[in-house]
């Protein structure tokens, strides 16, 4: 074993010219860009729908939350057969309505969106429960007053519900962004980073640099850059929240 030597900022200098690092960073950014807002929106919609009095409400809540109980690896293995191009159920359904089947995880154009779709299916129930907790904390008197004043459901939603659950929305955005930057299990099992590195994420690069190529210093440098990016995004979002979050 060689004697350790101080290399200063050599790893960071190498990162600047590492095309694969920038590729993984771009892939991760695409994943975060699509997954986070869609996740928050759909979770909020389902939470609002399942917060109303309806038959079997508890059963529907449990069904939506159930995928979150399973591990990411199990979920990925469950979806793999569904993405088959020849006899996968997704393409069978598309063909049944006269649409052409997609290549899903086997094409550079659709692979990342396929991973996003699986992630949404797994996590929507988790964030829905958070929104439900926020919705149930809103006093009913606000809605009663709005109804007396003749406010429409849409007006009530945007003028009462959205402002009063803004702290929950802010929290969901933060943890969703942080969790999305850590995407590893789904891409590893579903695509192994392919095709042509189109789903190769930054955390996958950290793992391979550290444990496949045994470049722990380089892996640490990548992790540090990722930490700084998340810190900057969180700080910006925290500052922006002052304009729309009501405590």
Mind listing the pLDDT tens digit for each residue in 77-86? 999 999 998 8
Q: How far apart are CA 63 and CA 128, in angstroms?
A: 12
Confidence of residue 2 (pLDDT cuts 50, 70, 90): low
Rounded average pLDDT over 158-176: 91
The mean pLDDT value of the chain amounts to: 91
What domains appear along the chain, each with residue ranges and CATH number?
10-244 (1.10.3720.10)
Residue 1 has pLDDT above 60, yes or no: no
pLDDT in tens, 15-27: 999 999 999 999 9
Which stretches does DSSP call E strand in the chain? none
Task: Report the percent of the chain where pLDDT is more than 70.
Answer: 98
Task: Note the pTM of the prediction, 2 decimals.
Answer: 0.91
Question: What is the CA 191 to chain-centroid distance, rounded?
Answer: 17
DSSP run (H or E) holding 26 = helix 19-50
The reported pLDDT for the residue numbered 74 is: 94
The reported pLDDT for the residue numbered 151 is: 85
Lowest mean pLDDT among 49-53, 165-169, 219-223: 49-53
Q: How far apart are CA 219 and CA 234, in angstroms?
A: 22
181 phi, psi to nearest 5 deg: -65, -20
Q: How far apart are CA 146 and CA 136, in angstroms?
A: 17
Residue 161 has pLDDT above 50, yes or no: yes
Residue 247 has pLDDT above 70, yes or no: no
Task: Report the percent of the chain where pLDDT is more than 90.
Answer: 69
Cα-atom radius of gyration of the chain, to the nearest Å? 22
Tokens of 208: 């391979």
pLDDT in tens, 99-130: 898 999 999 999 999 999 999 999 999 999 99
Rounded average pLDDT over 199-215: 94
């Amino acid at each position: 074993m060689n004697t350790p030597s101080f290399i200063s900022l050599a790893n960071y200098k190498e990162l600047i010219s590492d095309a694969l690092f920038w590729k993984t960073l771009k892939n991760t950014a695409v994943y975060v860009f699509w997954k986070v807002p869609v996740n928050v929106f759909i979770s909020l919609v389902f939470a609002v729908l399942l917060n109303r009095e309806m038959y079997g409400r508890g059963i529907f809540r449990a069904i939506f939350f159930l995928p979150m109980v399973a591990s990411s690896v199990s979920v990925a293995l469950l979806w793999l057969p569904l993405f088959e191009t020849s006899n996968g159920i997704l393409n069978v359904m598309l063909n049944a309505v006269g649409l052409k089947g997609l290549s899903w995880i086997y094409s550079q154009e659709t692979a990342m969106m396929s991973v996003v779709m699986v992630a949404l299916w797994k996590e929507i129930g988790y964030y829905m429960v958070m929104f439900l907790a926020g919705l149930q904390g809103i006093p009913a008197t606000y809605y009663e007053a709005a109804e007396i004043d003749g406010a429409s459901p849409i007006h009530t939603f945007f003028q009462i519900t959205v402002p009063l659950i803004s702290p929950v929305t802010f929290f969901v955005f933060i943890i969703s962004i942080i969790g999305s930057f850590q995407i590893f299990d789904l891409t590893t099992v579903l695509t192994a980073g392919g095709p042509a590195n189109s789903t190769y994420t930054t955390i996958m690069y950290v793992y391979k640099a550290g444990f496949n190529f045994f470049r722990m210093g380089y892996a640490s440098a990548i992790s540090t850059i990722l930490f700084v990016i998340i810190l900057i995004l969180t700080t910006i979002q925290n500052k922006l929240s002052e304009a729309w979050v009501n405590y």
